[in-house]
């Protein structure tokens, strides 16, 4: 049963009749371009096959009711809330995500008259695979549908506008200072492609990335570890980048080129230099990766993934022992390239692996984690899949 089918069935069971629509949105893997989004730079994500579905029916009393089928396979109901009374800080916890989206849509001028939502998620949580954005994007589309403003309907905002509304929910309601990577990936990716997205211009280009067709697999290693300082660490890095741009008199670090680094870095306080070096070189690595993919040379992106990991580990300093173990082990066992992905301080790594070598790489990673006495990681092959859409 897909998450959309389950959401529809649970909705009918809970409310006694059918939902008016079901929308779903995927989690993502970012192939390369990490911590570049809030620096106005480039990213290259693709969508996971794992999706979060939201079955919806409009209400006329202004209330939002939310129930979710959790990974514990039980239904969790949140108290009904008046959309007109939503404000940042209330509710908190998990319910802040759907409520934050309703708030952002209200603030954005979309007349959401109330809705019943049934949420079923299959994106692994806490794994750096954007389960929260899958939830927020599917919720945004479902709620827009109740206002006649979902994609394909006359009053629909563009995907870029929806991504910004979801970002607002995440930044101003849930209080996470994240960029535009995750919601853009969830909304706009297409099957067998990676999305080359320029955050400054808002322009996206679908780059063919049929990894399986090329005999390669992108293996995801979810370390199942998230270190407690991940949120503070993210915010500190972001503020450091913004401060560096300001000191250099640039709008964003996007405006610094690699050729300028030798002259620009000495102008900065020592602690900001590695941050700038990471962002500037990472943007170049995205462009180089796109060039290789356009030429169909998928295997050639391996060294770029490795360089990205080294930069995130040594300059941006957001890797973890578990991520490094996953990356080093995968490479030693035959991966063509490997790196941590997402916000950092835990979560997942990816390894680009020839399909024939995948079982050996998987086993090597499992063995290495067992030898280090760590929880067994969750491993799966990520096939570039479709972005958000209406299921029924």
136 binds ligand GLA (CB under 6 A): no
Q: Which is nearer to ligand GLA, 114 or 387 (CB)?
A: 387
Q: Using CB under 6 A, which residues numbered 38 to 67 contact ligand GLA?
A: 38
Q: Which is nearer to ligand GLA, 121 or 179 (CB)?
A: 179
For the bound state, the minimum distance from the C-beta of residue 33 to ligand GLA, rounded and expressed in Å, comes to 7
Binding track, positions 343-372, relative to ligand GLA; x by CB under 6 A: x-----------------------------
Bridge partner list, 356: none
> In angstroms, how far is CA 347 from the centroid of its own chain?
12
337 binds ligand GLA (CB under 6 A): no
- Of 3, 7, 35, 391, the residue at the interface with ligand GLA (CB under 6 A) is 35
Bridge partner list, 346: 226
C-alpha–C-alpha distance, residues 39 and 185, integer Å: 17
Inter-residue contact 78 to 69 (CB < 8 Å): no
Q: Which of 116, 182, 222, 357 is catalytic?
A: 182
For the bound state, the minimum distance from the C-beta of residue 37 to ligand GLA, rounded and expressed in Å, comes to 5
37 binds ligand GLA (CB under 6 A): yes
Backbone angles phi, psi at 141, to 5 degrees: -65, -40
For the bound state, the minimum distance from the C-beta of residue 384 to ligand GLA, rounded and expressed in Å, comes to 18
For the bound state, the minimum distance from the C-beta of residue 133 to ligand GLA, rounded and expressed in Å, comes to 7
Give the strand order in the sheet containing 346-354: 337-340, 346-354, 216-226, 378-381
Q: Which is nearer to ligand GLA, 7 or 140 (CB)?
A: 140
Within 13 Å of residue 330, how many CA atoms lie on the same side as its CB?
34
Question: Looking only at Cα atoms, what is the longest distance across the chain?
Answer: 67
Q: Which is nearer to ligand GLA, 136 or 145 (CB)?
A: 136
**Interface with ligand GLA: number of residues (CB under 6 A):** 10
On the question of a cis peptide bond just before residue 91, with omega within 30 degrees of 0, the verdict is yes
For the bound state, the minimum distance from the C-beta of residue 343 to ligand GLA, rounded and expressed in Å, comes to 4
| Exposure class string for 212-235: b at 16+ Cβ within 10 A, else e | eeeebbbbbbbbbbbeeebeebbe
C-alpha distances in angstroms, 359 versus 130, 328, 333, 355, 363? 26, 16, 10, 8, 6
DSSP 348-375: EEEEEEEGGGHHHHHHHHHHHHHHTTPP
181 binds ligand GLA (CB under 6 A): yes
Q: Using CB under 6 A, which residues numbered 161 to 180 contact ligand GLA?
A: 178-179
Q: Which is nearer to ligand GLA, 36 or 385 (CB)?
A: 36
Write out 13-48 in H/E/C secondary structure: HHHCCCCCEEEEEEEEEECCCCCCHHHCCEECEEEE
Binding track, positions 272-311, relative to ligand GLA; x by CB under 6 A: ----------------------------------------
Q: Which is nearer to ligand GLA, 33 or 114 (CB)?
A: 33
Tell me, yes or no, if 182 is annotated catalytic: yes
182 binds ligand GLA (CB under 6 A): yes
Q: Which is nearer to ligand GLA, 238 or 358 (CB)?
A: 238
* Residues involved in catalysis: 182
Residues in touch with ligand GLA (CB under 6 A): 34-35, 37-38, 178-179, 181-182, 342-343
């Amino acid at each position: 049963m897909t998450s959309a089918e389950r959401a529809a069935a649970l909705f009918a069971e809970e409310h006694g009749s059918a939902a008016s629509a079901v929308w779903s949105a995927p989690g993502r893997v970012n192939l390369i371009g990490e911590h570049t989004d809030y620096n106005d730079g480039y990213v290259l994500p693709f969508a996971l096959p794992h999706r979060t579905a939201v079955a919806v029916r409009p209400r006329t009393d202004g209330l939002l009711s939310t129930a979710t089928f959790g990974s514990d396979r039980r239904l969790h109901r949140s108290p009904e809330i008046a959309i007109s009374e939503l404000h940042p800080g209330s509710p908190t916890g998990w319910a802040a995500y759907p409520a934050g989206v309703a708030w952002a849509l209200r603030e954005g001028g979309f007349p959401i008259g109330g809705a019943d939502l049934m949420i079923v998620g299959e994106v692994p949580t806490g794994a750096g695979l954007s389960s929260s954005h899958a939830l927020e994007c599917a919720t945004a589309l479902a709620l827009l549908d109740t206002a006649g403003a979902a994609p394909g309907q006359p009053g629909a905002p563009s995907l870029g506008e929806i991504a910004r509304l979801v970002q607002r929910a995440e930044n101003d309601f849930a209080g996470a200072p994240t960029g535009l990577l995750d919601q853009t990936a969830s909304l706009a990716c297409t099957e067998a492609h990676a999305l080359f997205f320029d955050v400054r211009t808002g322009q996206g280009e679908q780059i063919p990335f049929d990894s399986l067709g090329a005999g390669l697999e992108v293996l995801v290693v979810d370390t199942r570890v998230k270190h407690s300082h991940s949120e503070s660490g993210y915010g500190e890095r972001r503020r450091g980048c913004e401060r560096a741009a300001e000191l250099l008199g640039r709008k964003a670090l996007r405006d610094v080129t690699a050729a300028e680094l030798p002259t620009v870095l000495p102008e900065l306080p020592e602690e900001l230099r590695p941050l700038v070096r990471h962002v500037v070189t990472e943007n170049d690595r995205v462009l180089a990766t796109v060039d290789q993919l356009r030429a169909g040379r998928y295997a050639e992106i391996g060294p770029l993934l490795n360089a990205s990991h080294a930069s995130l580990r040594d300059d941006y300093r957001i890797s973890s022992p578990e991520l490094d173990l996953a990356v080093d082990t995968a490479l030693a066992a035959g991966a063509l390239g490997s790196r941590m992905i997402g916000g950092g301080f835990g979560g997942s790594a990816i390894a680009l692996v020839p399909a024939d070598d995948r079982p050996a790489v998987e086993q090597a990673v499992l063995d290495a984690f067992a030898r280090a006495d760590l929880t067994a990681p969750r491993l799966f092959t990520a096939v570039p899949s479709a972005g958000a859409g209406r299921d029924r």
